[in-house]
Amino acid sequence: MKLASDTWLVFQRYFGLLMHNPAWIAAEVVQPVLYLLLFAPLLKSIASMPGFPPGGAYNVFVPGLLIQLGLFGSAGVGFALIAEVRNGVLERFRVTPVSRTALLLGRAARDIVNMLIQSTLLILLSLPFGLSINILGVLLVYALVALIGLVFASISYAVALALRGEDAYAQVVFTAALPLLLLSGVLLPLSFAPGWLRALAAANPLSYAVDAARAIFNNRLGETSVVEGVAIMAVLAVLATVLAARSFGRAVA
C-alpha cells in the first residue's frame, strides 16, 4: 500500500537525520533524568498531604510526565519543517508522486518513536524509586502517548506551514501549550485545585489523557477514565492529521 510504504520511507529519512545528531541523543537521555532528579524529590513530601491521589508519588508523577512529554515533544517539531520550506525541500517532495499524507505521517511517526524512547527511559529510571507498572499498562500508556504525539505534532506542523517563520511559530505554539499543560494536572494533581480551575480543566482534552494515564499507572485499566482519555485523543488525532495532511498538500510558497 502506497501510503504505508511512503510513510515508512519518510520516517526513515527523518529518523536517520535524528540519529546523526549527537546533540539530540544527549538531550534524549538528559531530559528525563533532569525531571527525575530535580522535580520528583519535591513530590515525596507532597504525596503524604490529604487530597493527593493514591498510588504513591511516582505512580502519580510519572504518568503526568509522560503526557507532558507528548505535548512538549511535539511543540518544537515545526522548526525543522520551516527550515525545509525555506530550503525548498518540501516543494521538491511535493513535485514527486509521494503521498502528501505520508509526508505528515512519516514525520509524526518519527516524533512518536522519539517520545516512546524517552518514555521508556523515564519509566526504567523510575523503577528503582518505587514506580510499579505491568507490561499491559506500559503498552496502554504508550498508545496514549503516541496518540497525543500524533495530535500535537500534526497541529505543530500545520501551524508551521501556516506561519512559515520561526519567531511567530514559537510564540503561537508555546503560548498555546502553556495553558494546556497547566490545566491538565500534569505537574500537580487537579484534586488540589479550586472549583473554577477544575471546571476550566474539564474543557482541556489533555486533562482526560492525564487522568487516563494515572488510572493506568494505578492498575485500574478497565476504568471509564481510561476509555475516555484514549477515545478523546483518538478522535482528536483523526481531526488533527486530516487538517495537517491538507496543509502538506496545499501550496507552500
From the CB of 2, what's the least distance to another protein, in Å? 8
Report how far residue 136's alpha carbon sits from residue 251's, in angstroms, rounded to the nearest whole number. Answer: 43
Cβ-based nearer residue to another protein, 92 or 136: 92
Cβ-based nearer residue to another protein, 51 or 97: 97
| Residue 10, C-beta contacts closer than 8 angstroms, at least 6 positions apart | 98, 102, 103, 105, 106, 107
Cβ-based nearer residue to another protein, 18 or 180: 18
Residues that bind another protein (CB under 8 A): 2, 6, 9, 13, 17, 20, 84, 86-89, 91-98, 251
From the CB of 215, what's the least distance to another protein, in Å? 42
User: 57 vs 60, 69, 214, 252, CA distance in Å?
Assistant: 5, 18, 11, 47
Q: Yes or no: say if 232 and 226 are a contact pair by the CB < 8 Å rule.
A: no
Report how far residue 98's alpha carbon sits from residue 6's, in angstroms, rounded to the nearest whole number. Answer: 6
DSSP structural state of residue 191? G
Residue 42: CA count within 13 A, CB half-sphere: 8
From the CB of 251, what's the least distance to another protein, in Å? 5
Cβ-based nearer residue to another protein, 93 or 129: 93
